[in-house]
Each structure stands twice: as structure tokens, then as C-alpha cells.
């Protein structure tokens, strides 16, 4: 019986560290201070941005200016949600938190003319755990 409890505890601990992520990993732990230190409107070049953050996730054009977008999103269910699923109580609902970092840069002639960085933290729930 102790072996079963130990195994269940191990599965639950492993599950508690589970999360999913998507996007540019160089944006994962970036802060506003990092962006402001590394990107200066009118000074920073597209080559410097590419060296810092890699290839953009999306590129578009606006009024003749090139616009680059970088994003990183991570989603993590809470420990109780995973434990409920492990013991067959997933129908009670779930709770999870999502965090995203997004950087948008506008270039004119290869120089940043404007940049913006946003961070969002969103919590959501379903069923009885809303």
C-alpha cells in the first residue's frame, strides 16, 4: 500500500511541474527593463535585434515600414487540477494561468523607429473552479 501512495505522490509531483509553452524562447524571461536597455528608437538596427532575439515570429508592412513581432506564451495548470485528473475528479473543473510576452518593433530603413513590449498574466478556470 505504501508503494502505491509513493508512486501516486511521484506522479502528482511530476505533473505539478507540467506546463506548455510556444513562441520565441528568447522572450520567455524578458522584462520591460531588458527591452528598454537593448532597444533604442532611432538607434538600434534590425541586425542588432535579430542578434538579440532571433528571427521574428511574424513580419508585416505598415505605411512602408517593416514591422516585426516576437511572442512567448506559457500555460500552466495548477497542482489541484492535475491531482484531480490523476484521481478521476477532472469533472470538477480546472484552473490554470497563462503568461505572455510580446514585442513589436517598427523599422524604417533598417532602424527601429518604434517599439512596444507587453506582458499579460491571465488566469482561467472551468467547472466548479471558475
57, 22 in Cβ contact below 8 A? no
User: What integer pLDDT is reported at residue 9 of this predicted model?
Assistant: 44
What whole-number distance in Å separates Cα of residue 128 and Cα of residue 91? Answer: 9
User: What integer pLDDT is reported at residue 70 of this predicted model?
Assistant: 96
pLDDT digits (tens, 9 = 90+) for 46-94: 999 999 999 999 999 999 999 999 999 887 655 554 444 554 545 555 6
C-alpha cell at 15: 505533473
Handedness of CA 107, 110, 111, 112 (dihedral sign): positive
User: What integer pLDDT is reported at residue 46 of this predicted model?
Assistant: 98
Q: What is the mean pLDDT of residues 16-43?
A: 81
Residue 29: which residues within 8 A CB-CB, separation 6 or more?
none
Helices (H) and strands (E) in the chain, counts: 4, 5
Q: Is the pTM here over 0.75, yes or no?
A: no
Residue 63: which residues within 8 A CB-CB, separation 6 or more?
none
Amino acid at each position: 500500500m505504501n508503494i502505491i501512495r509513493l508512486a501516486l505522490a511521484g506522479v502528482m509531483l511530476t505533473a505539478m511541474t507540467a506546463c506548455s509553452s510556444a513562441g520565441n524562447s528568447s522572450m520567455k524571461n524578458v522584462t520591460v527593463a531588458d527591452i528598454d536597455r537593448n532597444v533604442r528608437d532611432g538607434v538600434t538596427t534590425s541586425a542588432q535585434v535579430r542578434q538579440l532575439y532571433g528571427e521574428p515570429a511574424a513580419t508585416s508592412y505598415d505605411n512602408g515600414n517593416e514591422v516585426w513581432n516576437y511572442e512567448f506564451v506559457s500555460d500552466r495548470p495548477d497542482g489541484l487540477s492535475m491531482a484531480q485528473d490523476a484521481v478521476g475528479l477532472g469533472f470538477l473543473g480546472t484552473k490554470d494561468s497563462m503568461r505572455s510576452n510580446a514585442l513589436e518593433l517598427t523599422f524604417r530603413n533598417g532602424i527601429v523607429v518604434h517599439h512596444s513590449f507587453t506582458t499579460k498574466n491571465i488566469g482561467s478556470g472551468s467547472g466548479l473552479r471558475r
